[in-house]
Amino acid sequence: MKIAIACDHAGLELKSALKAYLDSRMIPYEDFGTDGTASVDYPRYAEKVAKAVLSGQFERGLLICGTGIGMSIAANKFAGIRAAACSEPFSAILSRRHNNSNVLCMGARVVGTGLATLILEGWLNAGFEGDRHQRRLDMITRIELGNQPPTPRQETPSEATSPVENKLLDEDTKPVDANG
């Protein structure tokens, strides 16, 4: 698995520590910057990593800024990117199991090096569980494509939902087991 990494000025130190962790695990990565402490704009780096992942040359992306939030907002603007901003391992692992996250974002002003390393480790090792979660990701893809099913409010009798669309809507609201 090859990882595309980037940070802004706030994330530089944590990025270095996480690169050392990846080196120790012999996990290949490419660093897309930034390389210095001068103030930079995090969306530029989120864009580089999002495009690298979408190119297929990198399986996953890792983005670090002050909070992880700006990076995740920017990365999630790219269709096909599922970026999760995490500050503890549980969410990071579940973002893989349930959301098939392909970009992990962390905040260097939120988590220390030790915790960030555990978050990254859990995220790298967790796999997507598919099944009902895939169905939900398909719904997100539909949203990305601007192809949402019509809501009742928008419908007129002549635009009534087709049987196929009804089945999709039923699936959307079907109850699931306790673990959801």
Active site residues: 65, 98
Q: What letter represents residue 164's amino acid?
A: V
Tokens of 112: 């220390």
Q: How far is CA 164 from the centre of its chain?
A: 30
Q: Is 10 in the site for ligand RB5 (CB under 6 A)?
A: yes
The reply on whether position 86 binds ligand RB5 by CB under 6 A is no
> Which amino acid makes up residue 159?
E
Near ligand RB5 by CB under 6 A, which window of 20-28, 63-71, 147-155, 164-172?
A: 63-71
CB 103 within 8 A of CB 65: no
Among 49, 70, 83, 117, binds ligand RB5 (CB under 6 A): 70
Least distance from C-beta 82 to ligand RB5, angstroms? Answer: 18
Spatial distance between the Cα atoms of 63 and 83, rounded to a whole number of angstroms: 9
Taking the complex as a whole, the smallest distance from the CB of residue 38 to ligand RB5 amounts, in Å, to 12
- DSSP E strand stretches across the chain: 3-7, 29-31, 60-65, 83-85, 103-107
Taking the complex as a whole, how short is the minimal distance between the CB of residue 59 and ligand RB5, in angstroms? 24
Q: Which residues bind ligand RB5 (CB under 6 A)?
A: 8, 10, 42, 65-67, 69-70
